[in-house]
Structure formats: structure tokens, C-alpha cells
Structure 1
Amino acid sequence: MSTQILNALPDIPRLYTAISEWGACVVYLFAIRRRVPLVRTGVCLLLGLITLIGVQYWAGTLPLAFWIFSMCLAVAVMYALIVLASGVSILSSLYLVVRAFVLAELVASLHWQLDSFLRPKNGSTFAPASIGLLMLIYGASGCIAWLAERRNFADVHLPPPQRSVFISLVIAVVTFAMSNLSFVSTNTPFSGRLGVEVFYIRTLVDLCGFAVLFAQQEQLRQNQANAELASIDARLDSQHREYLRSKENLDAMARISHDLKHQITALRMQVDPELKSQDFEQLEQSLQRYGSQQHTGNPVLDVVLSTKERICVQEGITISVVADGGLLDGMSPMDVSTLFGNALDNAIEALKQVESKEKRLARLALYASGQFTLIRLENYYMNSLDWRSDGELKTTKRDEGLHGYGVKSIRHIAHKYGGEVSISAQDHWFSLCVLLPMKEGTLSLVNCE
């Protein structure tokens, strides 16, 4: 089969290829949330650039048969650079390096095609005009790619699913093979025979490959966002159903308690007080405990607090509540039950891990501060907290796919009313603070999505 290309363009300088590969790594290193200090990233980038240049020039001394090997070696250096400079997992780095490789191929091919078209026949590839074009194409392409990928990776948790990594790897391999097919053989239906035509095909195929990878990441981001919203909605619905059941139980308990108090009074009149007084006092105290309810000024909050206080009594947890429920006027019943239900559930879950009953303490306060409604819940904790790179707490439960959305649900509700959530931990005290702005003394929705 013929491999001869008519009017073939010169090969892309090794230096330009190395810079393109390095620049693509820079794009993705600054598009994701790195887990290492910026100084480490800078040192790794400097060493990575030197290594990539060295690998490219060394590969230029090898026979043509080692072309694939030299490309794999360059990709391996890019992979090591991303691993060391980002601190993300091995799987995440593999996902990033295949995207960086396709981007590097696209930028290098696009620049060389334009440079070969604009440069005079006898002009030097290192002439000021050529260097200026290099900086323009590489810089503009890198900035555009960074802006696009930063949005694509902003809300996505790494590492991605293994299936997505495999698909991206296949896309990158197919893109590389098709874009360089003409250099292997011009005698195929997908090959070019002219130098300009070959680079046109290469640039177009690389652009399509990058576009497919971009669309794949966009779809992954959408899927993860939809999964989180579905989990939050499911938790909202579960909290609301729990509230309705709790309200029915509390109403029934209050009626039973009220009726039994009258029955106890009647019994006292019929029996000897000296013999049965102590037993009746204990029974009345027990009924008083189960028949009592919170009265904050918000009936939904009353039900939630009464239900959670009963759980606290069963678990040996001491909780103090100072709440002005009237400040929640304007918040929907479902949001009230979900917000406080999630917050108290998280606190109770943490306090169950505390061995000492004396340290199972929680404090809840709901009060006005200026033009804001402030909700503060504090609880003691023993186990160390595990923070994720996005500032959220990792769930302590084994199944992260079904748990860990409590704080996200609280934050989602706070944002609906224009508020913010802050979390802090100090001296084994965990503090959750929700700040909600009031308009004319009441809460109002600012985002109904």
C-alpha cells in the first residue's frame, strides 16, 4: 500500500508538540479542583515541560517503527504530570489525560496547518511571525478549552464512573488512529493524498474527537446533577411523610394522655391514696412526658421537634431548644419539616456515636438577628470529620450513593429563600448555621427551581 503523500508538509517541530501536550495538561489541571498546594502544581508543571521536551527530542532520534512507542511515552509523561500536579486519583487522572491528549493533538495540528499556509516558502519556523502565531493559536485555544471545561468539571465529583473512563479512552484511541491514518497509508477511503489535505483531515477529526469528549462530560455532569436532585427530592418527600405520620401520632397521643388524666383522677377517688399514690404519680409523669409537645408558634416545627425530642429521650440525648417558630412564616411546611428534620437527624446520628451519656448534648436555636432569621444547631461529636474537596462532608454511612444528601438538602432549601449555610467544627462541637434573609419581617422564595 502506498504511504507517499504529495506535497507533504514538514513535520510539526518536536518543541511545538511538547508545548502543546504541556499546555493541554495545564488546561485540565486548572479546570478541576486540585488537591495539592499551588506550589507543588507549579513545580510539577516546570519539570513536566522539561521532561516532555526531552522525550520529544529523544523520540526524534528513534526509527519510524518506534513512532507509536514514542507517542505512548509522551502520554505516560502527561499522565504522570497530571497525577502529581493535581493529587486526584489514578482513575481520574486517566480520564483527564485522554482528554488532554486529544486537545494537544487538535491544537498542534490546527496551528501547524495555519502556520504552513501563512508562512513564506523559505521562511523559518522560528521567525518572529511564526512564534507570534504559535503564541496566539496555543494561547487562544487553551483559554477557550479552559473556559469550556471549567464549567464542565465545576460541579462533577471525581473520579468518574469506570464506564465513562473506558468510553473516553476508546474515543481518544479512535480519534488518534483516524486523524493519523494518512501518515500510515494514503490508499484507504479515509486517507488524504495531499499535504494540506492530510492536515485538514487530521485537524477536523481531532476537533470531532474533542467535541465528542466534551459532550460526554456534559452528559456525565447532567446525569450527576439529576441524580443529586432526585435524591434530594426523595429525601424531601420522605421527611414530609414522616412529618404527617408524626403529626397523627402526636395528636392521638395527646388525646389519649388527656383522657387518661381524667381516668387517673377518677381512680384516685375510688382507691386508698396511701397505698396507690406513688404508683399513680409515676404513671402521670410518664403520660405527661409522652403527651407534651413543643409550642414554638409554628405547628409544623412543633411536630418535628416533639418527634425528635422523643427519639432523643430514647437515645439518652439531652437537647435544649429555644425557637421562635413565628420567624418561619413564609416557609412552606415541607421545607420546614425537611430542613429541621435533616439537621436534627444528622445531629442525633452523630450523638449516637458518643459513648458517654453526659456528652450527648445538642442545642437548637431559632431567632432573629437584624434582618435575618438565624437557625443554629450545635452538637457534640467524637469521630473525626471527613471533608470532601468541594467543601461538603462525606457521609459516615457505607452506601454513599443513598446517603450524604442531608446537608445538601438543607443547603438547597436555604438557597430557595436566598439564604446560606455554614458548617464549622471546633473542640468536638459541630455547628450548623442557616442564615435566611427576611423581607418585611417574613421569609420569601427567591428561587423556585
Structure 2
Amino acid sequence: MNQILNALPDIPRLYTAISEWVACLVYLMSISCRKPPKRTITVLVVGLGVLIGVQYWAGSLPIAFWIFSMCVAVACMYSIIMLASSMQALTGAYVLARAFVLAELIASLHWQIDSFLRPPTSTIHAPASIALLVAIYGGCGFLAWWGERRNFGVGDIDPPGRSVFIAATISVVTFAMSNLSFVSTNTPFSGRVGLEVFYIRTLVDLCGFALLYAQQEQVRENQASAELASINARAYSQHREYMRSKENLEAMGRLAHDLKHQIAALRTEIDPERQSRNFEELEASIQRYGSQQHTGNPVLDVVLSTKERICADSGITLTVVADGSLLAGMTPIDVSTLFGNALDNAIEALKKVDNPDRRLIKVALFSRDRFAVLQIDNTYASHLNWKANGELATTKRDNVLHGYGVKSIRHIAHKYQGEMTLRAKDHWFHLCVLLPMVNGQLKPTAASATL
């Protein structure tokens, strides 16, 4: 026996096209890297018409062209996703695999329920059938969007190539297994009765979608773990730099103090004007290395003093007005990481500024309405690469290893229940960190207090 008993009619081509369109809409609404609304709407409207046309065209072809026509429909879905978003090609393929399985699931589930509930004398154009179509397509689309927005709505979608391959494999296997009964009923995995065939198809599509959902959950967790590990590594690196700088500053302070006494003694013995002028230059040089910032926070003093020397060597003017007492409650490693990363980013940007008079950094730490406010402003010359979600992308070639400075700053801001904002205007880059104060101190969140 190689025929399906009591076979149900094929899913109408129009319904298949609508399910594919709904799946594209779900993922375009879930991701944060969409094109402007006007373009997205235009792509969706045109895309719906193209999908309907492709499905009716495929229906006029011999059954031997079934796989080919499915490939054309999938290509149309991919075009809709790519034209309405700013994703990379590989990322678009990853989203397409999920959208295709979702489209198969919605179409199969609706047709199975509709065929079971619809009276023999009724048609698919009856009001009850149309209402069921809207309810199932809309309900499934909403549930899928509600679940996927958590996976795709925050940050960039950047799945590894291996994950894209796995998603594509799951999609192909799901499609093949769910449609196996239509190819042959003489297999251990095929159904032989109409409703049974569609039950198998719906169940396999549901399992495929669940696998893809679980895969994205795992990818997201892996990325979050890798990002947190990189942030922590950068934090400890900044802290080690702070400890080394503290030791160097203490040693240089003692050296400067001793040299001042030696210079004073030499001045009494050497009278020529030229010799005196040389000693004055030497004293000024020693004074620069012996000076330190005094903000009221010893950790911040070390960080600012270290960065001040780096700025002086690089021809950068650093201006600081900071009340370090506002950082009471913040751990030393967070203080060094917060200010170290912020100033490192500013110094890196200013190294690309050719005009020495434009190499400026302004640091301000003050209180305002029960908030500690950190503002760091610096000029810049190179083009800023803003991502679609408003984040600033690194300008370094190795964007895998770099770009965690800003993430570290944001992580610390969130740790103390605050927020970080970035803004650029008139070739000035502005970083602002707003931290709420409780009883005059910064309080970390309970979840991050032990990190």
C-alpha cells in the first residue's frame, strides 16, 4: 500500500503563502536590527504578493518540481528577511531556518484543525473557517513572537557558523520527516490515514521548532557567558594595572621627594646661571612625575594619576574635576575598571586626532539629585560606527577580542542599579554614567554583589 487512506486535501496555496509571510513578520518584529518602518512595511507588503504569486505558480508545475518550487519560496522568505533588516547574510540564514519551520508548523496545525472541525458541506471560505484561520495564524504568530523576542530582541544576532549549520540541518530534517508520508507510506515513520499524516506532520514541525528554540537559548547563554568572562578578565586586568600603578606612584613619590632635597643642596654649591636653569627644568620634570590627583578616593587617585602621565606623554590635555567620595560603596576593582576603561577608550580615540590643540579629555564626577554622575568628554576625528541597536561598534579589526570596554562600563553601571549613555555631537564624544545613591553610598544589586 503506497496511498494515504481518507487523504485530506492539500493545504491551499494561499494559506501556505500567508503562513510563510506571518513567519517572516514574526522574526522581523522580534529582532532589533530592522530597517526604518517605512521600508519594512513596503518589503512586507510586496513580499506577501510575491509569496502568493510563487505559490500559485508552483501549483501549476508538475509534482516533480515540488522541491524546486519550495526552494523558490524559501528564497523569497530569505529576501524578505534580508531586505527588511540589516543582518549579515549568515545571520539571515539562521533566522530563515527558524522562520521556515514556524511557517510549516502554523500551516500544518491550522489545516489539521480546520479539516477536523469543518463540516463536509462547508467550504474553506465559510466565516467559521476564516475566523479559525485568523485565530490560529494570529495566535501562533503572537506566541512565537512573544517567545522569540527574548532570544532576538536584545543586542546583536551573531550566531557562530556552526550554529547556523545546525539550525539549517534541523530545518531540513524537520521538513523532510514531516512530509515523508506524502512521498511514501511504506516507511516506519510514515502515516497511512489522512488525519494521522497531518498529526505526524504537525508534531514533527513542533519538535523541530522546539529544537531550534532550545538551540537559540543555548547560543544566547553561551554568548552571555563568554561576554561576562571577557568583561571580568578586563576588570581584573584593569585592577592589576591599578596595583602596579599604585606601587610605581609611591616609589616615584619617594624618589621625587629625595631628589628635591638633593637639588636644593646642589643649588647652594653651584652658582652659574646656566646650571641653575638646567636644575629648574629638572625640578619641573620631577614635579610632574611626583604629582598625584587627590579626589578623596585613593583608587581613583591612582587611576587618574596614571592616565594623566599617559596623556602627558601623548600630548593630550586631561582636565579633572572629581569628588571621589561619591564612589563610597563601589569596590576598588569596579572603580579601576570603570574609570580605566572609560579613559583608555578616550585616549585611544584621541591618538587619531592630528591637531594637538584638539586632544582634550574632560572628566567630571559630581552629585545631582541623589545620583553620582560621571561624565567623560573627549574629541574625536575618526568615523563612529553605530550599530542598529544604538550601541557603538569597535573600530578595531579584531571585533571579537575588542569592544568590551564599553560593555564593561555598562555592566558596572547596571551592577550599581545605574545606566550608561553614549552621545556624539560636533566632534565631541560624551559618556555619561548615572548611579543612584542610597544613604550617601552606591549599592550593588543583590544578584551582582558577589561577582
- TM-score tier by shorter-chain length is over 0.9
In structure 1, distance between residues paired with 2:168 and 2:417: 42
Compute the displacement of 1:159 (Å): 3.8
In the alignment, what sits opposite 1:250? Answer: 249
In the alignment, what sits opposite 2:113? Answer: 114
In structure 2, distance between residues paired with 1:157 and 1:227: 14
In the alignment, what sits opposite 1:183? Answer: 182
Instruction: Say which SS state the counterpart of residue 30 (structure 2) adopts.
Output: coil
In the alignment, what sits opposite 2:136? Answer: 137
Moved more, 50-59 or 330-339: 50-59
In the alignment, what sits opposite 1:75? Answer: 74
In the alignment, what sits opposite 1:66? Answer: 65
In structure 1, distance between residues paired with 2:433 and 2:80: 41
Matches within 5 A, 1:37-436: 37-272=36-271, 274=273, 276-436=275-435
Opposite residue 281 of structure 1, the aligned amino acid is E
Contact 1:180 1:202 in 2 (8 A): yes
Q: CA 1:274–1:23 in structure 2 vs 1: closer, same or farther (change >3 Å)?
A: closer
Compute the displacement of 1:3 (Å): 2.8
Instruction: Say which SS state the counterpart of residue 436 (structure 1) adopts.
Output: strand
In structure 1, distance between residues paired with 2:328 and 2:244: 22
In structure 2, distance between residues paired with 1:143 and 1:391: 26
In structure 1, distance between residues paired with 2:374 and 2:155: 29
Give a deviation string over 1:330-383, Cα, whole Å, max 9, x none: 111111111111111111111111111111111111111221111111111111
In structure 2, distance between residues paired with 1:276 and 1:179: 93
Moved more, 7-16 or 148-157: 148-157
Compute the displacement of 1:441 (Å): 2.1
Contact 2:329 2:443 in 1 (8 A): yes
In structure 2, distance between residues paired with 1:62 and 1:286: 86
State the identity %. 68
In the alignment, what sits opposite 2:445? Answer: 446
Compute the displacement of 1:274 (Å): 4.7
Compute the displacement of 1:447 (Å): 4.5
Compute the displacement of 1:279 (Å): 2.1
Instruction: Say which SS state the counterpart of residue 441 (structure 2) adopts.
Output: coil
In structure 2, distance between residues paired with 1:267 and 1:47: 87
Give a deviation string over 1:213-235, Cα, whole Å, max 9, x none: 11111111111111111110011
Give a deviation string over 1:384-435, Cα, whole Å, max 9, x none: 1110122211112111111111111111111111211111111111111111
In structure 1, distance between residues paired with 2:438 and 2:423: 27
In structure 2, distance between residues paired with 1:175 and 1:435: 49
Contact 2:34 2:40 in 1 (8 A): no
In the alignment, what sits opposite 2:8? Answer: 9
Instruction: Say which SS state the counterpart of residue 84 (structure 2) adopts.
Output: helix
In structure 2, distance between residues paired with 1:182 and 1:48: 30
Q: CA 1:278–1:156 in structure 2 vs 1: closer, same or farther (change >3 Å)?
A: closer
Q: CA 1:156–1:192 in structure 2 vs 1: closer, same or farther (change >3 Å)?
A: farther
Structure 2: segments with no counterpart, 5+ residues? none
Matches within 5 A, 1:19-38: 19-38=18-37
Q: CA 1:448–1:246 in structure 2 vs 1: closer, same or farther (change >3 Å)?
A: farther
Contact 1:417 1:447 in 2 (8 A): no
Instruction: Say which SS state the counterpart of residue 182 (structure 2) adopts.
Output: helix
Moved more, 390-399 or 144-153: 390-399
Structure 1: segments with no counterpart, 5+ residues? none
Give a deviation string over 1:272-314, Cα, whole Å, max 9, x none: 4656322221221111111111111111111001000000110
Moved more, 153-162 or 62-71: 153-162
Instruction: Say which SS state the counterpart of residue 366 (structure 1) adopts.
Output: strand
Instruction: Say which SS state the counterpart of residue 68 (structure 2) adopts.
Output: helix
In structure 2, distance between residues paired with 1:285 and 1:84: 62
In structure 1, distance between residues paired with 2:13 and 2:211: 27
Contact 1:422 1:433 in 2 (8 A): yes
Moved more, 183-192 or 411-420: 411-420
Contact 1:387 1:393 in 2 (8 A): yes
In structure 1, distance between residues paired with 2:27 and 2:164: 15
In structure 1, distance between residues paired with 2:53 and 2:272: 99
TM-score (norm 1): 0.97
Contact 1:415 1:447 in 2 (8 A): no
